[in-house]
Each structure stands twice: as C-alpha cells, then as structure tokens.
Amino acid sequence: MDFQVVVLAGGTSKELIPLVSNEVPKALLPVANRPVLSYVLELLEQNNLKDLIVVVEGEDAALRVGGWISSAYVDRLHVEVAAVPEDVGTAGALRAIGHHLTAHDILVGVVSGDLVCDVPPGAVAAAHRRHDAVVTAMLCSAPVSGPSDSASSGGKDKAKKPGRYNIIGLDPTRQFMLFIAAGAEVEKDVRVQKSILRAVGQMEIRADLMDAHLYAFKRSVLQDILDQKENFHSLRQDVLPFLVRSQLRSELSLDGAQAEENGNDKAASLDNKVMLSQLMANASSQSFHEHGAMGPNGFVPFPRKTHKCCVYIASKSKYCARLNSIQAFSDINRDVIGEASHLSGYSFSAHNNIIHPSAVLGSKTTVGPQCMLGEGSQMGDKCSVKRSVLGRHCRIGSNVKVVNSVIMDHVTIGDGCSIQGSVICSNVQLQDRVVLKDCQVGAGFVVSAGSEYKGESLAKK
C-alpha cells in the first residue's frame, strides 16, 4: 500500500495541565500504565503499517517521545520522529514536514498521540481507494458521557462540550460527506448552501458522530491546500470543511473558493444559504451518489468536475475515543481495564483485575474488578481500590480508599487517605488523612496531612 502514515503526536496540551509537563508530553500520558501513543502504534503495527512519521510539537517533547519509541519498538517499527514548533496546529504540523511526504496518498492518523481505538486503519484506506477520494475521514459514535459530578474536570468539560461535536451532512448511502460544521459553529444557526441541496437532493444530518482524527488524504491536493492556504491551522476545522465545501465546484479551484469565503458577493451568498431547520423538508428522489453515477447515457463515473470527500463510519461495536481532556483521560483509563479491556494487552485475573506479581497487598486489602496495580507497588492493611489504575512502585499506607481514580508511578500515599474521581501524577506525596474528590495533582506535588480538596487542580508553581 503506497500510503505514508503520519502520526501527529502533539506536545504539551493546555487542556491536560497539570497532567502534562515538560517531562511528560501528551503522547506519553499513561493509559493503563502504558503511554497513550502505544495504542496508536500497536494498531498500526497490527495492520502492517510499520513505516511511520511521528510528529511532535517542541524539541524537548520530540526527544522524549523519540527516546521512548526507540526503546519500546526497536526492530518492530521504522519510525522517523520529526519535531515541529509548538502551537502550529495539525495543518501547520503537516505543512512543516511537507518535504517528507512523497507517497501518492497519505494515511494521516491525526491522533495528537491520543486516539485509542480498535478500528483497522486499512478499512479507511480501502474506502479512500475505492472512491478515489481526495479525503476520507473516519467517523465513530460520539461518546455518551453522563452528567459528571466532578466539579473540576467535569465543570471545565461542560463548558467545552458543544465544541467537541460536529454537525455532519451525509449522502443517503452514508459514504460521502456533504456538509460539516465543527466547533464553535455548532453554537450558531448552521447554514447550508442551496447549491449543495440542489445537487444532492437528500442529506442526512447527524450530530451523533465524532471525527476520530484518522484521515486518508490525496497528497497532491493536501499539499496544494497547505501551500496556498497559509492561514489554515487545523485539519478538522479548516482543511476538511474547505474540501467539503468546494467538492461540488468545477475542479478544486482554490481561488474561487477563497473569494466566496471572503464574502465578496454577500447578497448572492446569503441567498444561496438555507437554515438547517428547513433542511429536512428539502428532499427529492435523487441522491448525491446517483447524481454522480448516472449520466444521460446511463452509468458514468462521478462527474469529471468534482472531487469526493468520503467517510468511513466505524461500527458501533468498535471502541474509539480521544484523550483530549482530563475527563477523557479518566474515562479511557477506566474503559481500557473495563469494557475495552481487549485493547490493554494485559491478561486479567479470575477476579477481572490486573495485579502485577511483584505487587504486595496488606491483610484485609481488596483490589476490585476493573482495577490495575502496577509493578513493585505496595499497599498496607485494610485498603480498598475500586475501578482505578495504580502505577508502578507506589507506596500506599493502611486504611486508604481509592475509587474511580488514576494514580501514576512512584506516588506515596499516607495512612487514612481517601481519593475519589481524581488523577494523581508521578512522584506525588499525599501525607496522612488527605481527602481528595475530583482533583488533579501535578507531578512532584506534596499535599500536607489532613488536607481536604474538592474539584481542585494542585500543582507546583
């Protein structure tokens, strides 16, 4: 397959402070005690995609990620790690490594090092080839998060929720993307061009699908757009909507599209749009696919003067999530030792948990199902762990309760502590009788004895 695979592994994401730091870039955040990037690399390896470019924002982060890859995947993958400046965005990152892109098509796993899924990338590539598309985007069911009672991560996430979902218009065969509104646009009245509706006849509007950040691109088209649209920052918010908007115009005329985007002909442009609420009333018998497939003399391929934006919709039975918030970090850790345990690569005990053989448990200490206790960790007497991941070489006193939490490596927890719905980073010290609910504690922080915190982010200044 002449696909090049590019994994955009991000840097130190602002949404994940204090979990990420200069020492722990996003790609190395632990999911079930394995760096999140390992889930993407193993998925690609299982699909025989072993020649990869991993793009990391920031020189220091790139060195750390590169060092980890070369030790973990020696003789298994051929990985080139490329450093790009921070905050260039996904489109900027691809622009910066443009000279490395040589294949006809590129399968771009825009995973920001954060896609955890079991959908074979080859299925996306096959759909892309079958339709000779300029882009094929993988969509999966949007995660259904119940109301979180977390004051910190949940509170932050609630404000951001609309930005995470898309409104996507599909043709009746659900193979072509005809419309997309992402991010802040979803908050406003969404407008659809009448020319699209005239061309497609019917459109299915979906608000329950998530862009999984796994794309196949036609390299020549992608590079033209990146070269000509220097202001494009994001693949999801700039490049993909641009390709979708321009697919019914003759050829890919970047200049014409730019004129329309700048609103040079505002009156015509307003007349050419229709409110989303009117959309469902507008349906005729002919689908976009038929419009493309039937000509006056019977069957012809897609009209020569259009390009195709395709979708591959993952089955609902597949697991697909992105680690792009603190809430998602907690959810994915819980899933990978729970309902999606096949992704973890670990074998579970008869009690449906993972306790490393070198871990030591005190008397009357219980580690429940869907829990993990890492190598060399020790727990005192009468402790209780439920639905939580505990890292390596942790020292945990007696009468400690841990529920729905992630505790990273080398953490010390004093007697009588209670930790619920929280994330504790590496080398943290909790002194005796600390109570934490819905908190994040940054690496190396010391929480003094008897402290109680709810919904706080605690980190070194």
pLDDT tier for residue 269 given thresholds of 50, 70 and 90: very low
Express as a percent the part of the chain with pLDDT over 70.
79
pLDDT tier for residue 106 given thresholds of 50, 70 and 90: confident
CA–CA gap between residue 326 and residue 18 (Å, rounded):
9
Q: Mean of the pLDDT values across residues 75-96?
A: 93
Higher pLDDT, 300 or 113: 113
Answer yes or no: is pLDDT of 64 > 90: yes
Q: Mean of the pLDDT values across residues 107-114?
A: 62
- Return the number of other C-beta atoms located less than 10 Å from residue 161's C-beta: 12
Residue 145, CA atoms < 13 Å, CB-side half-sphere: 21
Beta strands in 254-400, from DSSP E residues, in sequence order: 273-275, 294-295, 298-299, 309-313, 320-322, 354-355, 360-361, 366-367, 372-373, 378-379, 384-386, 389-390, 395-396
Cβ–Cβ < 8 Å for 100, 84: no
Phi, psi angle pair for 62, to nearest 5°:
-65, -40
pLDDT tens-place string over residues 124-178: 989 999 999 999 999 998 875 533 333 333 333 333 343 446 789 998 899 999 9
DSSP string spanning 161-181?
HHHH-EEEEE-TTS-BEEEEE
CA–CA gap between residue 255 and residue 267 (Å, rounded):
19
Higher pLDDT, 406 or 192: 406
DSSP string spanning 92-122?
HHHHHTGGG--SSEEEEE--TT-EEE---HH
Residue 312, CA atoms < 13 Å, CB-side half-sphere: 25
Higher pLDDT, 159 or 302: 302
Lowest mean pLDDT: which of 69-78, 189-198, 245-254, 303-312? 245-254
